[in-house]
Amino acid sequence: MRMQSNPKADLLLDVRDLETHFYGEESVTRALGGVNFHVKSGEMLGIVGESGCGKSVTALSILRLLPKQTAKTVGGEVIFKGRNLLELSERQMREVRGNRIAMIFQDPMTSLSPVHTVGRQIAEAVQIHGRVSRAEALEKALEMLRLVRIADPERRLNNYPHEMSGGMRQRAMIAMALACSPELLIADEPTTALDVTIQAQILRLIVDLKDRMGTAVMFITHDLGVVAETCQRVIVMYAGRIVEQASVTDLFARPTHPYTRALMNSVPDRRRGRQSRLPEIPGVVPSLREPLVGCSFAERCPFAIGVCREKMPVLSEIQPGHAAACWRSNEVVNL
Ligand SMILES: Nc1ncnc2c1ncn2[C@@H]1O[C@H](COP(=O)(O)OP(=O)(O)OP(=O)(O)O)[C@@H](O)[C@H]1O
């Protein structure tokens, strides 16, 4: 008899109904309106969607790195290895960020300090992780620079970030993030600012390190082409919600949400490199300052009918592991 595979086996992160608001002087922006997804150990999950759909806010909400004065996660749970991160103390959360979940950004200077050598910064990350001597930490820093394939690592250990190229700084940031052997790496558009050749090298490096170290990766990007090349599963976000989730194979074989289909029709030309933002999908994203009635994509959707403007569709499974939030998913998937 064939065993049924458990879709949540090896569950590392389980995000449930995550809701985050930003508070302005006169209005509230509902940046995340109830986001549900999971990440399994060792997998690479892509998060895609246009600018402003909530990709970065999702990452920052998980790590509790939102600006305290203006933002608040008002609902949901972030279960990481059985513990709800939203209920941990600041001290426990620092331990999670230092040891278990690391994040890398588009701009490496978000993580690297300009006033210390790269070697010292990576060594400090190692020392936060475990009780090792300074010499051992520096040795580990050197090993990390070798691992991320920085040429002449002994010399680079003593470089300040400004003495390195953009691609090299990106590698140094990755070395620092992985120095503590995290179980999850959140990568927020880590290659967007780089030129195409370096972009491809850094992507290959992330995939290679993930495979070697067994780190799960949440890979945030606006580029579906990158997801196709690197990820196993993908979630598509629109206006602060997930509109589709699937394995990469299923998403490309049977794109179901009309927004996903529109994104696929506008896959950027990789040869244009950093200019390759997604071409516009006609229409505008709804304001997140007003409560949404109906489907958030209805005004831009060629398939919208009456119900789409009246009731918000929930994410529903079309086949195992593939879900979409669309009233017409059964028809659209067969088009
Ligand atoms: N610091 C902030 N203050 C107020 N609103 C914010 C802030 N950061 C994000 N937002 C709002 O939250 C929503 C989601 O933003 P987010 O940065 O997550 O989008 P994104 O999908 O990551 O976009 P991009 O691809 O441009 O990075 C947007 O409406 C944005 O305007």
Query: Per the domain annotation, does 220 fall within a domain?
Result: yes
Q: Are 167 and 188 in the same domain?
A: no
Domains in the chain, number: 2
Write down the mean pLDDT value for the chain: 90
Q: Are 160 and 209 in the same domain?
A: no
pLDDT of residue 268: 56
Instruction: Collect all residues with Cβ–Cβ distance below 8 Å to 159 and sequence separation of at least 6.
Output: 117, 118, 119
Q: Are 133 and 95 in the same domain?
A: no
Q: Are 195 and 298 in the same domain?
A: yes
Task: Write the single-letter amino acid at 117.
Answer: T
Residue 40 pLDDT > 50: yes
Query: Per the domain annotation, does 203 fall within a domain?
Result: yes
Share of the chain above pLDDT 90, in %: 75
| Domain, as residue range, for 234 | 39-71+88-100+184-279+292-332
* Ligand 1 site-directed mutation target among 25, 53, 186, most atoms within 8 Å of CB: 53
Query: Per the domain annotation, does 210 fall within a domain?
Result: yes
Task: Write the single-letter amino acid at 26.
Answer: E
Query: Per the domain annotation, does 78 fall within a domain?
Result: no
**How crowded is residue 204: how many other Cβ atoms within 10 Å of its Cβ?**
13
Any atom of ligand 1 within 6 Å of the Cβ of 31:
yes
More confident residue, 134 or 15: 15
Last residue of a domain, one of 121, 150, 181: 181
- Cβ pair 165, 194 in contact under 8 A: no
Share of the chain above pLDDT 70, in %: 93
Any atom of ligand 1 within 6 Å of the Cβ of 222:
yes
Residue 1 pLDDT > 50: no
Any atom of ligand 1 within 6 Å of the Cβ of 55:
yes
Burial of 8 (0-12, 13-18, 19+ CB in 10 A): exposed
DSSP string, 215-269: -EEEEEES-HHHHHHH-SEEEEEETTEEEEEEEHHHHHHS--SHHHHHHHHT---
- Check the annotation: does 53 bind a ligand: yes
pLDDT of residue 128: 80
Using the atom order of ligand 1, give the atom closest to the CA of residue 58.
18
pLDDT per residue over 105-122, tens digit each?
988 888 899 999 999 999
Any atom of ligand 1 within 6 Å of the Cβ of 316:
no
pLDDT per residue over 10-34, tens digit each?
899 999 999 999 999 989 999 999 9
CATH number of the domain residue 220 falls in:
3.40.50.300
- Cβ pair 274, 283 in contact under 8 A: no
Query: Per the domain annotation, does 33 fall within a domain?
Result: no
Residue 248 pLDDT class (50, 70, 90 cuts): very high
Last residue of a domain, one of 181, 213, 232: 181
Q: Are 204 and 305 in the same domain?
A: yes
pLDDT of residue 130: 76
Q: Are 202 and 66 in the same domain?
A: yes
Q: Are 194 and 301 in the same domain?
A: yes
Instruction: Collect all residues with Cβ–Cβ distance below 8 Å to 77 and sequence separation of at least 6.
Output: 14, 15, 16, 17, 18, 84, 86
- Check the annotation: does 43 bind a ligand: no
Query: Per the domain annotation, does 81 fall within a domain?
Result: no
Query: Per the domain annotation, does 301 fall within a domain?
Result: yes
Q: Are 93 and 223 in the same domain?
A: yes
Please tell me the distance between residue 58's alpha carbon and the centre of ligand 1 in angstroms. 9
Query: Per the domain annotation, does 67 fall within a domain?
Result: yes
Please tell me the distance between residue 140's alpha carbon and the centre of ligand 1 in angstroms. 36
Task: Write the single-letter amino acid at 134.
Answer: R
The encoded tokens of residue 315 equal 């994410």
Last residue of a domain, one of 122, 153, 181: 181
More confident residue, 252 or 291: 252
Q: Are 118 and 225 in the same domain?
A: no
Q: Are 209 and 312 in the same domain?
A: yes
Q: Are 169 and 196 in the same domain?
A: no
Q: Are 193 and 140 in the same domain?
A: no
pLDDT per residue over 267-293, tens digit each?
655 544 444 455 568 888 888 998 888
